[in-house]
């Protein structure tokens, strides 16, 4: 859990810093830093489901 929390803090910090440097806005930087990781988490969930199906199909093809 510690590793997950430190990664979340790192992710937030990177998203905020890059957006702030590009826009000069603390508000936009904060919004992106909150929204982007949330959306990325949802996208990763579906990516993982698709990847699991690909791996299962590869294993099934290797067996047959």
pLDDT at 55: 93
Spatial distance between the Cα atoms of 61 and 64, rounded to a whole number of angstroms: 5
Tens-digit pLDDT string for the chain (64 aa): 888 888 888 888 999 999 999 999 999 999 999 998 888 888 888 999 999 999 999 888 888 7
CB atoms within 10 A of CB 20: 17
Phi, psi of 43 (to 5 degrees): -60, -40
Q: How far apart are CA 62 and CA 28, in angstroms?
A: 49
Q: Is the distance from CB of 53 to CB of 43 less than 8 angstroms?
A: no
């Amino acid at each position: 859990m510690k590793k997950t929390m430190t990664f979340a803090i790192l992710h937030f910090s990177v998203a905020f810093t890059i957006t702030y440097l590009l826009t000069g806005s603390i508000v936009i930087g904060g919004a992106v830093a909150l929204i982007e990781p949330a959306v990325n988490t949802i996208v990763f969930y579906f990516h993982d489901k698709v990847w699991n199906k690909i791996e299962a199909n590869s294993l099934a093809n290797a067996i047959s």
